[in-house]
Amino acid sequence: MTAPNDLPLSRFTIVELNDAGMPAPLRLALSLAGKIAADLGATVLKLEPEGGDPVRRLPPHLSNGESALFHFLNTSKRSVRLDRASLPDLLAKADACLFEEPSPLAEFVRKSQATPIEVAAFPNGMDASQPLSEFTVLALGGLLHMVGEPDRKPLRLGGHQASYAAGFAAFTGLAAALAARDAGRKAPAVRVSLTEVMQWVNWKAASGAEASGKSPGREGKGSEFQIVRCKDGYVAVVYTVTQWPATRALIGDPRL
């Protein structure tokens, strides 16, 4: 087992700033980026607002009533109550800060020596006042056009795909910033928007439009991956040819 001090990020301190008014998609993205850093040895200080991170109350719940989602996203972190008065001192000791943009606390980050890692909903220049949910981000990124029947309403993708993809992107930027600091160079500021990440995830739309003049999507029975109804909603089984034997074994239906 690897000792904590032997992990690659063990010499870094990261502040994860969870503002009270932060929308859930941004909160989950920040938490995932912080989780990866913590699992790789960084000291991650999770600053929670009065009443705690709202994710503490989100399903699914463990047998003791606590949120399984919160436990998954906050492994190895240190939770600290968010206090504006002590925030400058905490940032002075940090190498980087993960935070929502826009945020009333962003000015504290930019005045500090901590490298800012911003996670936003929309690209710079886009109207930030429009409603934000994972469903709207999936729509703006084009992913809701990828799957489903052309004659019915779009189906929301399962899980938190927009938030988690943005969380991976934010961690990638964080890792690059920490590498620059470690090499004695000025670390670049990082800005990740959920909408742009979803456009990147949906790369087939751009390449398909370039190749055929039409973005592929919602092709019904002609789709590569079919959506079928199940007991509690719909499911799409997505796999490559080499993954089919394991997929078949996982489902366990002899008809396959």
Q: Identify residue 193 by its one-letter amino acid code.
A: S
Q: pLDDT tens digits, residue range 161-187? A: 899 999 999 999 999 999 999 899 988
Q: How far apart are CA 12 and CA 175, in angstroms?
A: 11
Q: How far apart are CA 182 and CA 95, in angstroms?
A: 10
What is the model's pLDDT at position 150?
80
**Residue 140 structure tokens:** 């703006």
Q: How far apart are CA 49 and CA 29, in angstroms?
A: 17
Q: How far apart are CA 4 and CA 40, in angstroms?
A: 8
In the predicted model, is pLDDT for residue 1 greater than 60? Answer: no
Q: pLDDT tens digits, residue range 49-95? A: 988 999 999 999 999 999 999 999 998 999 999 888 899 999 999 99
User: Do residues 142 and 205 lie in contact, with contact meaning Cβ atoms separated by under 8 Å?
Assistant: yes
What is the model's pLDDT at position 208?
78
Segments of 25-88 assigned E as strands: 43-48, 78-81
Q: pLDDT tens digits, residue range 189-207? A: 899 999 999 989 888 777 8
Q: pLDDT tens digits, residue range 130-163? A: 778 888 888 888 888 776 678 877 777 778 989 9
The length of the chain, given as a count of residues: 256
Provide CB contacts within 8 A for 241, sequence distance 6+: none
Return the minimum-mean-pLDDT range out of 13-22, 74-83, 176-185, 214-223: 214-223
Provide CB contacts within 8 A for 238, sequence distance 6+: 225
Q: Tell me which of 130 and 111 has the higher pLDDT.
A: 111
